Amino acid sequence: MCEQKIDAIIEKYRGQPGSLIHALVEIQHENHWLPREVLQRLADALGVSFSQVMQIASFYKTFSLTPKGRHEVHVCSGMTCHLRGAAKLLAKVEEITGLKAGETDADSRFTLETGACLGSCSIAPELIVDGKHYGRMTPDQAEDVLKRYE
């Protein structure tokens, strides 16, 4: 985690309680999860209660209160992906990683997520690793893709 960058984000919003979500989004993007002590410092800096920070941080799906793996693997569960074979793709990815959606492996290699919809339905079903899209994925191709991420 880069303490300086997080501190800079917290400082940017000091004294602005209305900017809680903005600050959380930036910290999440930077650090990939929200440690408790960071949330406490953010609450103090913005002048909101810790419980309010937790309400927001635990409500929205984007925020993670637990550490994530080095690589975020996302299988789109949107309607078109569903109609075009996302279930089989997800089953294969679960088998390869040994994870269910929301889990991180013991080596912190992968975090598996599902969710809808990323809007590139024309290339369904889709696998996204660290933001890079892999369209029209077959279960076999997914195996090759995941091998590239250590």
Partner 1 sequence: MTMLKLNSAAELEELRARILAGRDPAKPCIAVCAGAACDGMDSAAVAAAFLAEVGRQQLGERLELRTTGCHGYCEKGPNVVVTPGEICYFEVAPADVPEIVAATLKGEVVERLVYHDPASGAPAVHMNEVPFYKHQTRLLIGDNPKIDPMKIDDYLAVGGYAALVKALTEMSPDQVLDEVKRANLRGRGGGGFPAGSKWETTKNAPEKTKYVIVNGHEGESAAFMDRAMLTGNPHKVLEGLIIGAYAIGAQRGFMYTRHDMPLLEKHVRNALAQAKEYGLLGENILGSGFSLEVELHFDVGIFVSGESSALMRSIEGNAPEPRPKYVRTSVSGIWDKPSNLNNVETWANVPQIISRGAEWFTSIGSEKSKGTKLISLSGNVVNSGVVEVPMGTPLRTLVFDIGGGVRDGKTLKAIHFGGAMGGSIPASLLDAPLDFDGMSKLGAPIGAGGLLLMDEDTDMVEVARYLMDFLTKESCGKCVPCREGMQQMLQTLTRLTEGRGRQGDLELLEDLAEVTGLGSLCALGKTSGDPLKSMFRYFRPEYEARIPDRAAGGSGDQK
Of residues 62 and 108, the one with the C-beta less far from partner 1: 62
Q: Interface with partner 1 includes 15 (CB under 8 A)?
A: no
Using CA atoms, how far apart are residues 104 and 84, in angstroms rounded to an integer?
26
Stretch that binds partner 1, among 11-19, 30-38, 88-96, 138-146 (CB under 8 A): 11-19
Stretch that binds partner 1, among 2-10, 32-40, 79-87, 104-112 (CB under 8 A): 79-87
Using CA atoms, how far apart are residues 47 and 119, in angstroms rounded to an integer?
37
Q: Interface with partner 1 includes 24 (CB under 8 A)?
A: yes
Q: Which amino acid is at 145?
A: V
Q: Interface with partner 1 includes 50 (CB under 8 A)?
A: no
- What is the token pair recorded at 131? 């933001």
Of residues 9 and 24, the one with the C-beta less far from partner 1: 24
| 137 SS3 class | coil
Q: If you search the block for the tokens 């602005």, which residue do you land on?
A: 16
Handedness of CA 118, 32, 8, 24 (dihedral sign): positive
Chain contacts with partner 1 (rule: CB under 8 A): 17-22, 24-25, 55-56, 59-63, 77-80, 82-84, 115-124, 126, 131, 133-135
